Amino acid sequence: MSVLAAIAVLAVLILVHELGHFVAARSQGIHVNRFSLGFGPILWKYQGSQTEYAIRAFPLGGFVGFPDDDPDSDIPPNDPNLLRNRPILDRAIVISAGVIANLIFAYLLLVVQVGTVGIPQTTQPLPGVLIQQLAPDVSSVAQKAGIQKGDIILAANQREFGASQQELEALREIIKTNAGKPVELEIARGEQKFSVNLVPEAKSNGEGSIGIGLSPNVKIERHPVTNPVKALNIGAVEFQRIVTLTFKGFGQLITNFGETANQVAGPIKIVEIGANIAQNDTGSLFFFAALISINLAIINILPLPALDGGQLAFLLIEGLRGKPIPTRIQEGVMQTGLMLLLGLGIFLIVKETTQLTSQLEWVQKLFQ
């Protein structure tokens, strides 16, 4: 059920994005002949007076179709309500409406999170350092040693960690400076305490790594905000924070591509993360949806072929030239961009499926 919940979240976000395009077009009287949620074979469709509505087999996608280039359309090519015949501003509104819809929806999700569940707040620091996540590679040092997400490291090489933010950096320093050398960790897992001996492997920069993500060990509580005005304000602050962090993340991906490329997530990884949240922390599902919605908006506004930002770039060039770029060139650029995006998507799906299969095989070995 948690996987279905994650897929449902992504499907809703895609639906919101496509509804943005659809509403912006129809509200201006622009012809729309298809509205589809998903891609692949059609599972259900309904023919309205102007538009065919369809649900397709694979929900992680969607599109709004216009009759401009439909050879079967009986609308005259000079009809002023065809998208291509509308002024640049009208077309820009339609193209950017999906991004705007995702951003507005993300803000509303954060407000709902604040008002119904509350934003996580740290109330009490606890001894030790929390293992927040593990590297997906089952051959990592930590996973080989049997370390699990949620374990608490109480000490490393006899150095005990107290209830302080600085303890996390102290543990990182021990791991970094002991590449190829044995490190003894004292770990708490629920009521159980045990020791683990492992050897950090050296990264390209010579620093040690064991394949874990760390965070301070703190007690976190949520308190819903019942004041609507305050909830709107806190939601706006969270929205601004996420947008800022997302832009910083894209900036790091560009400037440090070699180090951050492995952090790029495809649909399988996103569903896996969402499933974990739905299973372990349902209260953060609104936050997860808002985060993905903002990322979807920012990715789509990038001036890349086959994305909304690429089409807006064509409109900008058209405005500067006083005439549109030849259709042949536009189609060639868009098709090239689409192939690159599809190639990236297939690569991520194959990579993440392989990692997921390796994880499942590792889990199965534990029970043999």
18 noted as active-site residue: yes
Q: Which pTM value belongs to this model?
A: 0.70
Residues facing residue 23 across a β-bridge? none
Confidence at residue 348, expressed as pLDDT on a 0 to 100 scale: 42
- In angstroms, how far is CA 140 from the centroid of its own chain? 24
Q: Which fold has domain 121-221?
A: Pdz3 Domain (2.30.42)
Q: Which of 101, 97, 14, 103 is nearest to 291 (CA)?
A: 103
d(CA 347, CA 349): 6
- At residue 361, does pLDDT exceed 60? no
Confidence at residue 118, expressed as pLDDT on a 0 to 100 scale: 82
Main-chain phi, psi angles of 283, to 5 degrees: -65, -20
Q: Which residue has the higher pLDDT, 69 or 364?
A: 69
What is the arithmetic mean of pLDDT over 80-103? 94
What is the arithmetic mean of pLDDT over 128-143? 78
Q: Which residue has the higher pLDDT, 7 or 157?
A: 157
From-to residues of CATH 2.30.42.10 in the chain: 121-221
Among 12-26, 109-123, 319-333, the range scoring the smallest mean pLDDT is 319-333
Q: Which residue has the higher pLDDT, 42 or 119?
A: 42
Residues in the chain: 368
d(CA 332, CA 334): 6
d(CA 110, CA 295): 14
What is the arithmetic mean of pLDDT over 248-264? 55
Q: Is the distance from CB of 183 to CB of 197 less than 8 angstroms?
A: yes
Strands (E), the chain: 34-47, 52-65, 121-134, 152-156, 159-160, 183-189, 192-198, 201-202, 208-209, 212-221
Task: Quickly state the pLDDT bin for 362 (edges 50, 70, 90).
Answer: very low
